[in-house]
Amino acid sequence: MSSSARKSPPPPCAIVIFGANGDLTRRLIVPALYNLSRTGLLPPRFSLIGVDHNDRSTDEWRGKIHEFLEEQVGNSGEGALKKVDDKLWSPIADAMSFLKGDFTRDETYADLKKRLAECDKAKDLGGNVLFYMATADRFFPVIAQKLGESGLVDMKECKGFRRLIVEKPFGHDLESAKSLNACLLKYLREDQIFRIDHFLGKETVQNIMALRFANGLFEPIWNRDRIDHVQITVAESIGVGTRGKFYEGTGALRDMVPNHLFQLVAMTAMEPPVSFDAEDVRAKKAEIFKAVHPLTLADVVRGQYDAGAVGADNVPAYRAEDRVAPDSTTETYVALRLTIDNWRWAGVPFYLRTGKRLKARSTEIAIRFKRAPHALFRDTPMGELDADWLIARIQPDEGIRLRFNAKRPGQAMALESVAMDFKYKDYFKQAPSVGYETLIYDCLTGDTTLFQRADQVESAWGVVEPILEGWADSNPRQFPNYAAGSEGPVAANDLLARDGRSWRAIR
């Protein structure tokens, strides 16, 4: 997490991608490497080895990846590539080689060890290897086991570093999370394991720590004395698309809450670390989940989208999506009320919500400050004396907004809520990004600050475990309970209304 002005290229290394033909590799990992190339933050010498079960040559793999990059030219979306520069692509293309192999067979790892030795000898990589598990999560334990048994991650046998990137999900419940961690830690040290969550690659998420700890203005009021409540929203306008089979066995809570949303909670609620050293930061994050008050079913609302309209498009109900059961009880929306039992946050509720087919795509952290005393403004309608908001917008337009009261022009003391906006695109020249550049760079340099430790993962699953168990014993009878294009089920509004509060509009 050092300043970009002080960043230098990582040391030479080999990068091994398990699942080289998958969507994650072509859509995010290799484009992120391309963007690191444009900023001069690729290793000066490296090899990129793709491992998958498909029978494909290196030229075919390289061509498919380049073809996908070319398709992105002119795309106006977030992190879009404007032009594939052959000078930037060339070092990546030259470093690529493909290895056909079954992830479950010893022969694959013997072949991989041989390939790594050849690359190391040819390019003087110092024995450094970064393994990336860009596969279905069912392969995580077997790949870790085979890497361990083959000696490929044994720091006593290997020169240089050996690191492993694990994509979410980190388990499907507390038991499976513990099992996965036990498997990983049997063969690797904790500092070799990088559990990656792309949300933490967003500039605004990382800027929360700068906002709080680098400004004398905010940290003194970042507590229960001045903050009324916190709202964290991760809203998606898209449906499940082609992921129906995966989503049926997962649902919104497992897919989003113990990882994405809880990481945003941790960044917002953590105590100041003594330094930005990785272990100091991660220790403070871990404390938050241990302090969360146990959830009950009354603290959580679940929903499933019906047919409706998102913008100008009519879209089907979740139960009508491809590879979804016609009587599915899988939730596509979840809202919950968290309380944190520590000195800073006692009595301050954290309201979290996430869902698919909502009104708009929006991710934000909204801090609601307590209302000013009304006595001085006794002649001002309470509706005009609004409370102040600090809003960190993570996507689609990254930035920070402060809403506060100002006097409306005229003779009367009439108030109006106004806003001060900071947008990254207005102040900083940002390089194109797919959200993985910072995280992959940190993996290459060994900085674990933005990655979850085993105890964080297990504590997060421990928070939601009572809800998963309660839902397993009672199927929802009212599904579907919100229309596509809306802001979610009515019951989610009731969750806040009983506390005398309401959700911010999704926009």
pLDDT-derived band of residue 474, with 50, 70 and 90 as boundaries? confident
Instruction: Report the pLDDT value the prediction gives residue 81, as an integer from 0 to 100.
Output: 54
**What is the per-residue pLDDT across 20-61, written as a single tens digit (0 to 9) for each?**
999 899 888 999 999 899 889 999 999 999 999 988 899 999
Strand partners, 483: 306
Residue 76's pLDDT band, with cuts at 50, 70 and 90, is very low
Q: How confident is the model at residue 79 (pLDDT cuts 50, 70, 90)?
A: very low
3 state SS of 271: coil
Q: Which residue has the higher pLDDT, 383 or 416?
A: 416
Does residue 141 have a cis bond before it (omega within 30 degrees)? no
Please report the pLDDT score of residue 385 as a whole number: 59
Taking alpha carbons only, the member of 181, 165, 141, 209 closest to residue 459 is 181
DSSP 378-437: TTS-TTTSPPPEEEEEEESS-EEEEEEEEEPSSSS--EEEEEEEEEHHHHS-PPP--S-H
Mean pLDDT of 484-488: 97
pLDDT at position 375? 55
Task: Give the burial class of 250: count Cβ atoms within 10 A of its Cβ; 0-12 exposed, 13-18 middle, 19 or more buried.
Answer: middle
Element (H, E) at 193: strand 193-196
Residue 39: exposed, middle, or buried by beta-carbon count in 10 A (0-12, 13-18, 19+)? middle
Q: Where in the chain is the domain with CATH 3.30.360.10?
A: 200-497
3-class state of residue 91 by DSSP: helix
* Domain ranges in the chain with CATH number 3.40.50.720: 4-167
Q: Determine if the peptide bond prior to 409 is cis (ω within 30°).
A: no
Pick from 116, 202, 118, 198: which is nearest to 161 by CA? 116
- Mean pLDDT calculated for residue range 184-189: 96
Residue that is written with structure tokens 């992921």 in the block: 243
Task: Provide, rounded to the nearest whole percent, the portion of the chain with pLDDT above 90.
Answer: 69
pLDDT top residue among 424 and 489: 489
Mean pLDDT across the chain? 90
Q: What is the pLDDT of residues 348-379, one digit of tens each?
A: 999 999 999 999 999 999 999 998 776 566 56
Largest Cα–Cα separation, the chain: 83
Residue 134: is its pLDDT beyond 90? yes
Give, for 115, the enclosing helix (H) or strand (E): helix 106-123
Active-site entry in 53, 260, 293, 374: 260
8 Å CB contact between 337 and 501:
no
The separation between CA 173 and the C-alpha centre of its own chain, rounded to angstroms, equals: 18
Contact residues for 346 (Cβ-Cβ < 8 A; gap 6+) = 224, 339, 340
Residue 293 annotated to the active site: no
Name the nearest CA neighbour of 130 among 45, 194, 39, 201: 194
CA distances from residue 133 to 137, 176, 353 in whole angstroms, order as listed: 9, 17, 29
Averaged pLDDT, 413-438: 78
The fraction of the chain above a pLDDT of 70, given in percent, is: 93
**What is the model's pLDDT at position 418?**
76
Tell me the backbone φ, ψ of residue 14, rounded to 5 degrees.
Answer: -105, 140
Q: What is the pLDDT of residues 94-120, one digit of tens each?
A: 999 999 999 999 999 999 999 999 999
pLDDT of residue 100: 95
CA distance 167 to 29: 11
Report CA 17 to chain centroid distance, whole Å: 20
The burial of 501, by beta-carbon neighbours within 10 Å (0-12 exposed, 13-18 middle, 19 or more buried), is given as middle
CA distance 93 to 59: 9
Which has the higher per-residue pLDDT, 415 or 400?
400
The string of pLDDT tens digits covering residues 157-168 is 888 999 999 998
Q: Which CATH number fits domain 4-167: 3.40.50.720, 3.40.1390.30, 3.40.50.300, 3.40.50.9100?
A: 3.40.50.720
If you search the block for the tokens 């699942």, which residue do you land on?
A: 19
pLDDT at 219 over 70: yes
Q: Assign domain 200-497 one CATH number from 3.40.50.720, 3.30.360.10, 3.40.50.1820, 3.10.20.30.
A: 3.30.360.10
| pTM of the predicted structure, to 2 decimals | 0.90
416: tokens are: 């109006």
Q: What is the mean pLDDT of residues 217-237?
A: 95
